[in-house]
Amino acid sequence: MPQRSMREQIVEAAIEQFHERGFNGAGVKDITDAAGVPKGSLYNHFDSKELLAVEAMRRYGASRRLEELARGPGAPLERLRQHFEFLRDEAVGYDLRRGCLLGNFGAEVADHNEQIRAVVGAGFTRWRDTIANVLRQAQAEGTVRAESDADTMAGFVLGAWEGALIVTRSRRTDEPLQAFFAIVFDQLLH
């Protein structure tokens, strides 16, 4: 098996450190120590910690299974529910101590760094648009009301998810996630 490149080690460690500590709490030394590389090596691969954060968010976004949500097997609402169940199970697997990296960066850094704000915004837009397309598929098959605006519903579902994650983390209980599923899938999209 080929050895991971130093750049890969740094990116993987950055995702973990940013997720555990936040952007401001994760220092360059924390990231390079977690990667097992010399501190100066980060700057051989990235011009700044901000550019490393941009790459970390890009990788994180790729791990969210949006392609599977958009075109995977099964009925549209089934895929949407499975998507959020995957995210819920991931949050539970981290003992409810991690939220969405996009949401975390959006809350912590977006007001202070235009480049990170743009990447966070683009990530949320792509996610919302994917959800909206799935809702349009559900409308076409008659499982979601045709008169409902798919873009507005998708924005609401995404905002409700991000809010539920914040409350879940702050209270260390999955009750907000349970409420998300009950309202979104048993009432709003039922």
Contact in structure between 65 and 59 (CB atoms under 8 Å):
no
Q: What are the C-alpha distances in Å from 74 to residues 8, 78, 79, 175, 185?
A: 34, 6, 6, 27, 16
Q: How far apart, in whole angstroms, are the C-alpha atoms of residue 39 and residue 177?
A: 39
Helix spans in 72-174 (H): 76-93, 101-108, 114-141, 150-171
What pLDDT digit, counting tens, does each position of 66-84 carry? 999 999 999 999 999 999 9
What integer pLDDT is reported at residue 190 of this predicted model? Answer: 76
Q: How many CB atoms lie within 10 A of CB 37?
A: 18
What integer pLDDT is reported at residue 110 of this predicted model? Answer: 85
Q: In this structure, what are the phi and psi dihedrals at residue 56, rounded to the nearest 5 degrees?
A: -60, -40
What pLDDT digit, counting tens, does each position of 113-156 carry? 999 999 999 999 999 999 999 999 999 999 999 999 999 999 99
Under DSSP, the state recorded for 40 is G
Q: In this structure, what are the phi and psi dihedrals at residue 25, rounded to the nearest 5 degrees?
A: -80, -20
Closest C-alpha among 79, 28, 70, 33 to residue 53: 28
Rounded percentage of the chain residues whose pLDDT exceeds 90: 93
What pLDDT digit, counting tens, does each position of 46-63 carry? 999 999 999 999 999 999
Domains of the chain: 6-57 (1.10.10.60), 65-188 (1.10.357.10)
